[in-house]
Structure 1
Amino acid sequence: MAHLLGGESLAISFGTRTVLDGVTVGLNEGDRIGIVGRNGDGKSTLMRLLAQRLTPDAGRVTWRRGVNVGYLDQGDVLDGDLTVGAAIVGDRADYEWASNPTIRDIMGGLVADVDWHAQVHSLSGGQKRRVALAKLLIEPHDVIMLDEPTNHLDVEGVAWLARHLKTRWRPTEGAFLVVTHDRWFLDEVCNDTWEVHDGIVEPFEGGYAAYVLARAERDRMAAVVEGKRANLVKKELAWLRRGAPARTSKPKFRIEAANALISDVPEPRDTVALSKMATARLGKDVIDLEDVTLAYDGGDPHAKPLLDGITLRLAPGERVGLVGVNGAGKSTLLRLLSGDIAPTSGRVKRGKTVVPAVLSQDVRELDDVADLRVIEVIQREKQTFTVGSKELTAGQLVEQLGFTNEKQWTRVSELSGGERRRLQLLRLLVGEPNVLMLDEPTNDLDTDTLAAVEDVLDGWPGTLVVVSHDRYLLERVTDHQLALLGDGKLRDLPGGVEQYLALREAALAAAEALPGQSPQDAEAAPAAPGRSEAEKREARKELSRIERQLGKLAAQEEKLHAQMAASAEDFVRLGDLNAQLNELHGQKDELELAWLEASEVLE
């Protein structure tokens, strides 16, 4: 593969802190590389150096002659006074770009619902991000560098971007670097991972799942003393092996070592025990929305309500993920649940023992403690805190979420965006709420911190509602997902995020087939004529048959995991068992797809 660009012996410091020290890396055609590491360790700095947007203190960056590099900034750098069209295509005539099918696909995937003549400053954060991506992607770059491209994108936008990057070039052509905290995205698009830590860059083969497995092996081989971090890695590894084992097919190192690492790691959550604790704290009633409608008509009596006739009953210890297009009303639904706003009609019923807490997107709640130090903020709330069966001091809890002894004495006003989110989450938890609502909690957090947050949430026994575009987080900390599809209705997603994306894709296709109809209208409209009773009876039989088969496969899967744990020293046996497990997962995927198809007949 031809070399595109690289850095040799790169070193850079900011003040007295050395961020990168003697780093040598290269990018070849066909490389699809994700950059991970803790906040502040130098991920964006490395990418800016390679893009020649920053000059190193030592070393040099070289590009192959004629290489074309495109760069997506983490922040908003578009000219707010330009129209959307001018920001994307400049002064080019429509026929110059509209005749290109690739550009048309990019426009349709990113900015189809954005007003072409609107000024950029009038757009939402998600719309600005999509405009910036469209501006970058329509150009014929050899190398693309993306700094947090999924920020402000909804689940649908992230899925589209992943598909585009996977098909943009042939496998041996082009290259990209991406800095992101979105672990599903890393797994979906990357074939290599660079970890930036302690001034160096360490390469790993594969996406995020492979990186977690390889890092766990590295820690095991090196007998790392860093116990707390290694325990989090082990827990993340256990989730990947048990919850999404298909993701672990890329690593090349010894599988038996990985299985030995997790043989003593319990399931992420003891669902039964947490449910009992939640019931004891909450009683039978939590929060019920009954036929709730919320209308923002702006004086237009014919305007559609934002939320229309929604009924939702939260149970003690329930863990719900909420997805939907930008502007569908996800944050508004959280505000209804928390009592910040009242519905236009319908009833909101709260249990007498409910103590809600909301992590908002902008964490302005910390403004009133800006002059305090991190540890003082937590100690002012509470001195000790129980996580699962463990009792931690405020200092121990703060350290568990990544605040070192030095950072604990930093003033809140000096914290980064990710550190502020961590602190506000801690502040909410030490207030001992029993209903926790998180609005885009992954913003500005690195992958290590996300694993730490998930670890804390695993032992938290209350009711949890999470709004997020981070598919990995939703699958990891919630037990089922719901969708607001933009028509004011709330829909259950037994098939998870994949079902949501399929529904959106079908709605968009229907909207294209019916000019003048919005995707939201298409989602609200029947997808097909009413099913006959005979079809419904057959569908019920099929569902019953599939569910029995899925139950048998679940038992077989559990048995295989037990056999793999017992065969950690027998590599040949372990390979055979792993092959059986992969075959079983293939059968399971086919059955789940059939289940979804049958369930749609009954809707």
Structure 2
Amino acid sequence: MNLVNLESVSHAYGPKPLLSDVSLGVEAGERIGVVGRNGGGKTTLMSVIAGDVRPHSGRVTHTGGLQVGFLSQQDTLDAAATVREIVLSGMAEHEWAGNQRVREILTNLIGDLDLEAKSRDLSGGERRRTALAKLLIDDHDLIMLDEPTNHLDIEAIAWLAGHLAARKSALLVVTHDRWFLDAVSTRTWEVVDGRVERYEGGYAAYVLAKAERARIAQAAEDRRQNLMRKEIAWLRRGPPARTSKPKFRIEAAQALIANEPPPRETVELMRFAAARLGKTVYDLEDITLHAGGPATGPLVLDRCTWQFGPGDRIGLIGVNGSGKSSVLRLLADTIKPDSGRVTRGKTVRLAHLSQELTELDPTRRVLETVEEVRKYLQLGKREWTASQLLERLGFRGEDQWKVVGDLSGGERRRLQLLRLLMDDPNVLLLDEPTNDLDIETLNELEDLLDGWPGTLILVSHDRYFLERVTDRSVALLGDGKLALLPGGVDEYLERRAAGTALTARLGTATATSRTSGPATVTSDRPGGAGSGSADAGGGPSIADSSSPQAPSGLSAKEERELRKELNRLERQLDKLTAQEARLHGAMAEAASDYAKLGTLDAELREITAQKDTIEAEWLDLADRLGD
């Protein structure tokens, strides 16, 4: 049974049609994820379906008695009402306390928030959680959520996905969180150019289906282009071509040319050259840090030693308020630690994308904001102006003369990303870079970061993005410790659920006691770039100097011999990793030489087999040492 039907619906704001002759329906129990470019009409579609916006033409029909719960992006909470009044709607305490579903919602969304707090005194994130909790406590036939994961941390997003999957209501959700889409949706709608394209499955299935549609469309376009070339050649053959050819042939060729679609408004992020990094990027020694300044606010780091090397790709995970942004500000030298020493490499060229985007002057024009960093950029053999680069990033024509203060959140974030990348950084600190970016832009940003050779430290609640662009995850658990998560976000959620405090260390990194001299830190990933000791300019490592070392049960002599063998294996793995990289480069250059590709592939397989054998030996030794 259809709960909502749209028949030939059209709607526009200004000259641009957001919905054009759209007909579709939402069935009972259906779970739909809505994707599309920012400004493409997703929110308009949701508002039309919910009945909040009346379309300019067409008809919207709701089944009789339909209960719709709609979480819009606009804040509609009563400023004078308390959290209790908004969420529980006068429900007696024994009623909600005895209802498991209500208790679960309050625990995971409201948490420690004071139920008697007035709505006007809440932060934006707290107001958003309050509105979401109110919606979920009530019963609805159709739940509609516009960006529900905004202001939620990874843990809350995982809970929300499980909660929605267990409900029997139909679901319509707009989100840029691709992991969330896969977790809750069984169908995907893409709003593009006024149309709504429909796909079966969640985000992963949508990507595959869209790629197949693109392949089929490209084949048809290739055939059309071939026909067009033949027609034009026929028209131009001979001096009397334009007057003596049959009229229907001329009209057919002109129709083909007229049908040529306008250039797509794609967002393209350029690959910028990174300056060379030395062996030292950041060395944090015996750092104690509180979020609110010395000895004030929550404890973030407690006497920790933390080393970043060139090429590290670290995702920093933790609940809201655990101090992730404080760690980035510490690295950016905008705050100082309570105690300890921060050593920054001489070759570091830092770019820090904060959540607040305070670096942007709201009174400046978009073009001026970019030109104050650099007016021209040499890319290959061509010199690009700031205006040309802005155009490639979606700021076309008059958009470049907009005042920064008038830009949307997504536009401001795109603008600041461009400014940062134009300055040729080799260290990127990104604090929630995916906020307000649509999926197409996220894909482009991921593609950029995939091949970016600098050091990356990322804070993000976008699980898909986090796992896509980083090599490892480290958790801030709120107790001053750092913990490696070999299992990534899944391990973080499991350990948080179990209430397990993790030992603060990165993989197999080991540290001697404070009284026995400086710590020796080794890479947690065999064969990873730069494995070895920190003093030797080794690879990525995080260590907490206060972490106890697990007893190995070995004599001092046996332990020395085993560590010597461990270091030897790591050097071998470094060499094999370098050979692997060389072979990958050679295979890319020989892409059209199939004979050479076969030879290189065989050589690569042999090296991979050697690495597997040595890694097994490395892991066995590390296990014997208790690392």
Q: Give the TM-score taking structure 2 as reference length.
A: 0.69
Question: Does the 8 Å contact 2:477/2:501 carry over to 1?
Answer: no
Q: Name the % identity.
A: 55
Q: Which of 167, 172, 179 is the aligned partner of 2:174?
A: 179
1:448 to 1:82, Cα distance in 2 relative to 1, 3 A:
same
Q: 389-398 vs 399-408, which deviates more?
A: 389-398
Task: Determine whether 1:353 maps to 2:352.
Answer: no
Q: Which residue of 1 aligns with 2:364?
A: 371
Which amino acid counterpart does residue 58 of structure 1 have in structure 2? S
Residue identity matched to 1:311: T
Q: From the superposition, tell whether residues 286 and 298 of structure 1 become closer, same or farther in structure 2 (CA, over 3 Å).
A: closer
Amino acid at match of 1:469: H
2:490 counterpart residue number: 498
State the alpha-carbon separation in 2 of the partners of residues 409 and 51 from structure 1: 36
How has the CA–CA distance of structure 1 residues 212 and 300 changed in structure 2, closer, same or farther, with 3 Å as cutoff? closer
- What SS does the corresponding residue of 1:78 show, helix, strand or coil? coil
Equivalent position amino acid for 1:119 in 2: K
Q: The residue matched to 2:361 in structure 1 has which SS?
A: helix
Offset, 1:215: 1.5
Structure 2 counterparts to residues 241-320 of structure 1, below 5 A = 281-295=276-290, 305-320=299-314
What is the rounded CA distance, in whole Å, between the counterparts of 1:133 and 1:383 in structure 2? 45
CA distance in 2, matches of 1:444, 1:113: 27
Is 2:119 aligned against 1:120?
Answer: yes
Paired amino acid for 1:348: V
Task: Give the 5 Å matches for 1:11-30.
Answer: 11-30=10-29
Q: What CA distance in whole angstroms lies between the structure 1 residues aligned with 2:217 and 2:291?
A: 59
Corresponding residue of 1:482: 474
Question: Mean alpha-carbon deviation: is it higher for 478-487 or for 76-85?
Answer: 76-85
Residues 147 and 179, structure 1, Cα contact 8 Å, conserved in 2: yes
Q: Does 2:429 correspond to 1:430? A: no
Report the alpha carbon displacement of residue 390 of structure 1 after superposing the two structures with TM. Answer: 9.2
| Pair 1:102–1:195, CA change in 2 (3 A) | same
CA distance in 2 between partners of 1:183 and 1:345 (Å): 40
2:432 corresponds, among 440, 450, 462, to 440
Higher-Rg member (1/2): 2
Paired letter, 1:422: R
Letter in 2 for 1:312: W
Distance 1:353 1:532 in 2: 39
- Please give the alpha-carbon distance, in whole angstroms, between the structure 2 residues aligned to 1:385 and 1:379: 10
Correspondence for 1:342: 336
2:234 pairs with 1:216: no
Per the alignment, residue 250 of structure 1 pairs with none
Q: Deviations over 1:249-285 (max 9, x none)?
A: xxxxxxxxxxxxxxxxxxxxxxxx99xx86x612111
For 1:264-318, what per-residue CA distance to the aligned partner results, in whole angstroms no more than 9, with x for missing partners? xxxxxxxxx99xx86x6121111121121123679988x7623322322111121
Given that residues 295 and 338 in structure 2 are in contact (C-alpha distance below 8 angstroms), is that contact kept between their aligned partners in structure 1? Answer: no
Distance in 2 (alpha carbons) for counterparts of 1:175 and 1:408 = 42
Q: Does 2:459 align with 1:467?
A: yes
Q: Which residue identity lines up with residue 75 of structure 1 in the other structure?
A: Q
Give the root-mean-square deviation of aligned CA atoms.
3.6
Letter in 2 for 1:208: Y
- Paired AA for residue 426 in structure 1: L
Q: Is the 8 A contact 1:401 1:452 kept in 2?
A: no
User: How far did residue 30 of structure 1 move?
Assistant: 2.2
| Amino acid paired to 2:201 | G
> 2:205 and 2:153 mapped to 1: Cα distance?
25
How far does residue 532 in structure 1 lie from its aligned partner after superposition? 8.4
Output the CA distance in 2 between the equivalents of 1:602 and 1:113.
39
Tell me the residue number matched to 1:417.
409
CA distance in 2, matches of 1:290, 1:299: 16
- How far apart, CA to CA, are the structure 1 residues paired with 2:179 and 2:401? 34
Equivalent residue, structure 2, for 1:232: none
Q: How many residues are matched?
A: 477
- The answer (yes or no) to whether the contact 1:400–1:452 under 8 Å persists in 2 is no
**Taking structure 1 as reference, are residues 20 and 304 closer, same or farther at Cα in structure 2, changes over 3 Å only?**
closer
Q: In the alignment, is the contact (CA less than 8 A) between 1:126 and 1:326 conserved in 2?
A: no
1:325 maps to which residue? 319
Q: Which amino acid aligns with 1:37?
A: G
Provide TM-score, normalisation by structure 1: 0.72
1:205 aligns with 2:163: no
CA gap of 1:217–1:391, structure 2 versus 1, over 3 A, is: farther
Distance 2:501 2:64 in 1: 43
- Structure number with the higher helix fraction is 1
> What is the aligned partner in structure 1 of residue 183 from structure 2?
188
Give the one of 369, 374, 378 matched to 1:382. 374
Whose relative contact order is higher, 1 or 2, with alpha carbons under 8 Å and at least 6 apart? 1
Unaligned runs of 5+ in 1: 228-272, 511-529, 535-539, 545-550, 556-561, 567-594
- In 2, Cα distance between the equivalents of 1:201 and 1:410? 30
Whole-Å separation in 2 of the counterparts to 1:304 and 1:55:
48
Look up the SS of the partner of 1:499 in the other structure.
helix
Amino acid at match of 2:472: H
Unaligned runs of 5+ in 2: 223-270, 503-548, 554-561, 567-575, 581-586, 592-618
1:560-579 to 2 correspondences below 5 Å: none
Q: Deviations over 1:73-104 (max 9, x none)?
A: 21332223322222201222112222222222
Change (3 A) 1:18 1:463: same
Tell me how far apart the structure 2 counterparts of residues 215 and 6 of structure 1 sit (CA, whole Å). 25
Q: Provide the rounded CA distance (Å) in 1 between the counterparts of 2:6 and 2:50.
A: 10
- SS at structure 2 position matched to 1:8: strand
Whether contact under 8 Å (2:119, 2:127) holds in the other structure is: yes
What residue is the counterpart of 1:33 in the other structure?
Answer: 32
Secondary structure of 2:12's aligned partner: strand
Equivalent position SS for 2:359: helix
Secondary structure at 1:144's aligned position in 2?
strand
1:83 corresponds in structure 2 to: 82
Structure 2: which amino acid aligns with 1:193? T
Distance in 2, matches of 1:165 and 1:392, equals: 48
- Equivalence for 1:516: none
Distance 1:402 1:425, change over 3 A: same
1:59 corresponds in structure 2 to 58
Secondary structure of the equivalent of 1:221?
helix
User: For residues 189-244 of structure 1, what are the alpha-carbon distances to aligned partners after superposition, in whole Å with 9 as ceiling and x for unaligned?
Assistant: 111100001111110111111111111222221128999xxxxxxxxxxxxxxxxx
User: What secondary structure, in the 3-state scheme, does the structure 2 residue paired with 1:49 have?
Assistant: helix
Secondary structure of 1:365's aligned partner: coil
Cα gap change, 1:180 to 1:44, in 2 (>3 Å): same
**Contact 2:360–2:369 (Cα < 8 Å) also in 1:** no
Alpha carbons of structure 1 residues 400 and 474: separation in structure 2 relative to 1, 3 Å:
farther
Would you say the 8 A contact 1:328–1:488 is kept in 2? no
